[in-house]
Amino acid sequence: MGAVAEPSMRDGDGPRRVVIEGVRPEIDGGRFPIKRVVGEKVVVEADVLADGYDALSCVLLYRKEGALKWLEVPMEPLASDRWRGEFIVTELGRYCYTLQAWADPFQSWQRDLKKRVEAEQEVSVELSVGAELVLEASSRAPGDVRKRLQSTATALGGRGNMASKLRLALDEELARLVSRCSDRRSAATYHRELTVVVDRERTRFSTWYEMFPHSCAPKPGRHGTFKDCEERLSYVAAMGFDVLYLPPIHPVGRTHRKGKNNSPTAGPQDPGSPWAIGSKEGGHKAVNPLLGTLADFRRLVEKAREHSIEIALDIALNCSPDHPYVKEHPTWFRWRPDGTVQYAENPPKKYEDTYPFNFETEDWPELWEELRSIVLFWIEQGVRIFRVDNPHTKPFAFWKWLIDEVKRDHPDVIFLSEAFTRPKIMHHLARLGFSQSYTYFAWRNTKAELTQYFTKLTHTDVREYFRPHLWPNTPDILTEYLQSGGRPAFMTRLVLAATLGASYGIYGPAFELCENRPREPESEEYLDSEKYEIKQWDIDRPDSLKDLIARVNRIRRENPALQGDWCLSFHHVDNEQLICYSKRTEDCENIIVVVVNLDPQNTQSGWVELDLEALGLDPHQPYELHDLLSDACYLWQGVCNYVELNPQVLPAHVFRLRRRVGTE
């Protein structure tokens, strides 16, 4: 690996003979970047074609965006004109990569000479041809190599002993030296420069806890504060979360404020939905005075950091009717013929407590600037993670601009896209820059659904740009599975989320307390939803899942196999209610095998069929499975082994596989 000159696209040297195409990864002809985190590999493959029979050489070129020099690594030929190479991204920001390939006359000559010698042909003219090639290469070689190549050329073209000349001519070290001095004037450079966005590790591997600050007060009925949140930090940290996500913390509007259970009229004590942002106390850059001051918030960020927790904020780009923007920037909203502002709606439903921005306003440049300033403001307060509310209802171009703008100066910022909409829209948002994306996980319950969905997310090109974030529940989503399955269902969905997804999160304390009463049948809304009222959670309830959660999150931290999404494979079980999958590190040093009972009502049993070869196991040797959840150990042998899971006790095994019995 070394620095080389800028690949030249000049055509003045004559037409290129080599063609590079079918490059992967490459998203939509290079229009969108691929994504990696610091320390990850970029493995690049391409078809490299040329006319005729010449041997080819190919290199992968890459550089940090803005760097003058390309670095290069050789690519290796695979079967059928396919080549592969790889590099590691080591810094936050953006990298570029492309390829260069050329016909290599010396390699061709050496290959053909071997065949001629084997056929016992007269080769003296051929040796002169080789001498010319070596001499020509020497003119491009650094000093010491130059002399060596010159003397080799003289020997090849001279009158010496044929056997020793052939030994010299067919020397592999000579091929390596000449290759390094290849004439690249007519090398072909791939016509696209492809981009990698490099994020920090938490973008791939993160464990989120969502919590309403207004419910954090220790005393019933009182509005929680940032100080109360500080008190809650050790509880969150003990469960092993590393991101604490707070719904909007801004002043809440009064006009059309929603009451309990989304009632159109609020009582005097009702806090209002935190997403109805803005009041006379301020808008998106202010904090709700009931929560405390901006200084209190900064202190919470500090305290969280001491617990190795990052605070994530919500970017919800809409306003309550009382938001200062409505008066200060009337052109940012859509006005109706009756002189009122157009509220949010999904006809025939009306959401009169929020006004969407009119992104089609003629003043859009001013609006965009202001919205960016909101994000920059919270970055100044120490926030680096943003969960973006409903990005699919704001223009794609706005998000691309905003994310590019922010990440240019702050490449460590993470944007999570909360778009629950049609798949192509979700994928497009991910392609244009969101670092992580909510998924359909909450509604994928059967073995077939989970297998199909996660195979698509982890084994197609989608994985190059879409980083799945798995939530078994959210304040808006109480699934039918959780409603009907009770505590075992919560355990099942916890293990699935935490082991299928390198990033997952729960909305607590509703989750660990197995809160599952719907507002009405068929609804995914909670009864007495925390969105509209202050809740008093008994986090010390003995049936809380907090210890199980802590254990699951410790297993995630201790097992690198669970910290990535790409290494997932599913294994057959002869019972549709049991799902089995494994994850492993690339070197197979850490292998986790998970078996989950998807039936929250009944004990299920069946025979698991592991793909032993893929897991690097000897089919004739027993192997040990250590259940990291129950701490039990099992000795298995061969492909098929029996499992039985009682959902009332523990609906899952999370095994660490030990290849050699008795050692680890």
Residues assigned a catalytic role = 389, 418
When asked if residue 452 is in the footprint of a copy of itself (CB under 8 A), the reply is: no
In whole angstroms, the minimum distance from the beta carbon of 505 to a copy of itself comes to 25
Burial class (CB in 10 A: 0-12, 13-18, 19+), 658: middle
- Alpha helices by DSSP H, listed for 159-222, are 162-169, 172-180
Find the binding residues for a copy of itself in span 23-42 (CB under 8 A).
Answer: 28-30
Find the binding residues for a copy of itself in span 472-491 (CB under 8 A).
Answer: none
Q: Is 592 helix (H, G, I), strand (E, B) or coil?
A: strand
- Please, what is the Cα angle at 562 between 583 and 309, to 5 degrees? 170
Question: Is the CB of 394 or the CB of 546 nearer to a copy of itself?
Answer: 394
Q: Mark 178-217 with x for binding to a copy of itself (rule: CB under 8 A) and - for no binding.
A: --------x-------------------------------
Question: Is the CB of 84 or the CB of 487 nearer to a copy of itself?
Answer: 84
Of the candidate spans 116-124, 172-180, 285-293, 592-600, the one that interacts with a copy of itself by CB under 8 A turns out to be: 116-124
Question: Is the CB of 2 or the CB of 347 nearer to a copy of itself?
Answer: 347
When asked if residue 443 is in the footprint of a copy of itself (CB under 8 A), the reply is: no
When asked if residue 434 is in the footprint of a copy of itself (CB under 8 A), the reply is: no
Of the candidate spans 342-350, 406-414, 513-521, 622-630, the one that interacts with a copy of itself by CB under 8 A turns out to be: 342-350
In whole angstroms, the minimum distance from the beta carbon of 105 to a copy of itself comes to 9
Residue 586: how many other CB atoms lie within 10 Å = 12
Question: Is the CB of residue 385 less than 8 Å from the CB of residue 312?
Answer: yes
Q: Mark 396-425 with x for binding to a copy of itself (rule: CB under 8 A) and - for no binding.
A: xxx--x--------------------xxxx
Question: Is the CB of 140 or the CB of 487 nearer to a copy of itself?
Answer: 140
Tell me the C-alpha distance between 220 and 492, whole Å: 31
DSSP assignments along 604-641, one per residue: EEEEEE--TTTTT--TTS-EEEEETTT--EEEE-SSEE
Of the candidate spans 355-363, 486-494, 575-583, 655-663, the one that interacts with a copy of itself by CB under 8 A turns out to be: 355-363
In whole angstroms, the minimum distance from the beta carbon of 393 to a copy of itself comes to 5
Q: Exactly one of 364, 377, 420, 440 binds a copy of itself (CB under 8 A); which one?
A: 364
Q: Which strands sit side by side in the sheet containing 652-658, from one edge to the other?
A: 633-636, 623-627, 652-658, 591-597, 578-584, 568-573, 604-609, 640-645
When asked if residue 351 is in the footprint of a copy of itself (CB under 8 A), the reply is: no
When asked if residue 223 is in the footprint of a copy of itself (CB under 8 A), the reply is: no
- # residues near a copy of itself by CB under 8 A: 52
Q: Cite the beta strand spans of 408-511 per DSSP E.
A: 414-418, 436-438, 468-469, 503-507
Query: In this structure, what token pair is assigned to residue 428?
Result: 């497009």
| 93-103 and 56-64 beta bridge pairing | antiparallel
When asked if residue 359 is in the footprint of a copy of itself (CB under 8 A), the reply is: yes
Return all residues near 56 (Cβ < 8 A) that are at least 6 apart. 18, 48, 50, 77, 101, 102, 103, 104
- Residue closest to 187 by CA, chosen among 28, 54, 27: 54
Question: Is the CB of 188 or the CB of 416 nearer to a copy of itself?
Answer: 188
| Chain position carrying tokens 């095998």 | 593
- Residue closest to 472 by CA, chosen among 506, 429, 432, 448: 506
Question: Is the CB of 226 or the CB of 399 nearer to a copy of itself?
Answer: 399
Find the binding residues for a copy of itself in span 546-565 (CB under 8 A).
Answer: none
- Residue closest to 36 by CA, chosen among 194, 200, 193, 205: 200
In whole angstroms, the minimum distance from the beta carbon of 230 to a copy of itself comes to 37
User: How many Cα atoms are found within 13 Å in the side-chain-facing hemisphere of 60?
Assistant: 27
When asked if residue 129 is in the footprint of a copy of itself (CB under 8 A), the reply is: yes
Q: Which helix (H) or strand (E) holds 314?
A: strand 310-315
Question: Is the CB of residue 441 less than 8 Å from the CB of residue 466?
Answer: no
When asked if residue 16 is in the footprint of a copy of itself (CB under 8 A), the reply is: yes
Q: Exactly one of 221, 348, 521, 662 binds a copy of itself (CB under 8 A); which one?
A: 348
Q: Mark 53-92 with x for binding to a copy of itself (rule: CB under 8 A) and - for no binding.
A: x--------------------------xx-----------
When asked if residue 267 is in the footprint of a copy of itself (CB under 8 A), the reply is: no
Query: In this structure, what token pair is assigned to residue 353?
Result: 């407590």
When asked if residue 128 is in the footprint of a copy of itself (CB under 8 A), the reply is: yes
Q: Cite the beta strand spans of 38-181 per DSSP E.
A: 41-50, 56-64, 70-74, 76-77, 82-88, 93-103
In whole angstroms, the minimum distance from the beta carbon of 51 to a copy of itself comes to 5
Q: Exactly one of 394, 444, 546, 583 binds a copy of itself (CB under 8 A); which one?
A: 394
Query: In this structure, what token pair is assigned to residue 207?
Result: 């464990």
Chain residues binding a copy of itself by CB under 8 A are: 14-17, 19, 21-22, 28-30, 47, 49-53, 80-81, 112, 115-116, 118-119, 121, 125, 128-129, 132, 186, 336-338, 346-348, 359-360, 362, 364, 392-398, 401, 422-425, 428
